[in-house]
Amino acid sequence: MNKEILTVISNRPLTHDAYELVLDGCSPVKPGSFVELTVDGYFLGRPFGAGDYEDGKLTVFYRVVGEGTKAMTGLKAGDEIKALTGLGNGFRTERAKKPLLIGGGLGIAPLNYLAKYFASAGIRPTVVAGYRSARDVILREELAKIAELSITTDDGTEGYCGNAVSYLKNNSADYDYYYACGPTVMLKYLTEFDVKGEVSLEARMGCGFGACMGCSIMTRSGSKRVCKEGPVFDAAEVIL
């Protein structure tokens, strides 16, 4: 864990409620790890998955859901923000030869960085990205360059009509291991798949680094902290 002051390079809307925030001055972070950003005037940091990272530049993709994320939309180039970086364990990238990445909504954010990681290692991953509607789709062009990308929308306004799990049940995908991030209901269905994989979980967080136990969940091997032992867990280990 690193305590850092990051500088805003850019902060722009991608859709009606999702933003891309690019920050400079960040120590290296692994795909699947997360950061806590503390906006001025707020006591607690808000956790966000690393959406991309290169040469000290961290990209976070965030949806505006409450006070903290609303305040983040006001960040401008040159502003500074307090951050805890390098939190959590990250994806076990060595486990897949033919990776399948499954995202639901903003769950695609950490998978974008994971897809880039695989692409840089010479592996073209398969990505299934599920959204509510065409107006919610982010990262379409970026992912299509480096992955076999399928988009699904609940209302059928783009790509497959239905969610990512329904797509996978009705279409064949060539993979030996999966990585998933998204709504709990989506992750729960995936854990019933025969193929092995891992899931990135979310929980309400306090400290973000293992001290308060506020993010504890029950797993098949006992109580675990999402911020410390997670946020990525073996799909077979979690109880959803």
Ligand X SMILES: Cc1cc2nc3c(=O)[nH]c(=O)nc-3n(C[C@H](O)[C@H](O)[C@H](O)COP(=O)(O)OP(=O)(O)OC[C@H]3O[C@@H](n4cnc5c(N)ncnc54)[C@H](O)[C@@H]3O)c2cc1C
Residues 210-229 that bind ligand X (CB under 6 A): none
Contact 131, 137 (CB under 8 A): yes
What number of residues does the chain have? Answer: 240
In angstroms, what is the C-alpha Rg of the chain?
17
User: Quick check: 218 binds ligand FES (CB under 6 A)?
Assistant: no
Residues 148-207 that bind ligand FES (CB under 6 A): 205-207
User: Quick check: 47 binds ligand X (CB under 6 A)?
Assistant: yes
Within 10 Å of residue 169's Cβ, how many Cβ atoms?
11
Nearest in space to 63 (alpha carbons), one of 135, 154, 161, 114 = 135
User: Quick check: 35 binds ligand FES (CB under 6 A)?
Assistant: no
State how beta strands 126-131 and 52-54 pair. unpaired
Q: Which is nearer to ligand X, 116 or 160 (CB)?
A: 116
- Choose from ligand FES, ligand X, none: what does 214 bind? Cβ within 5-8 Å by kind: ligand FES
- Choose from ligand FES, ligand X, none: what does 202 bind? Cβ within 5-8 Å by kind: ligand X
**H or E stretch including 187?**
helix 184-190
In the bound state, the residue with its beta carbon closest to ligand X is 66
Using CA atoms, how far apart are residues 123 and 87, in angstroms rounded to an integer?
26
Q: Which is nearer to ligand FES, 20 or 202 (CB)?
A: 202
Q: Which residues bind ligand FES (CB under 6 A)?
A: 205-208, 210-215, 225, 227
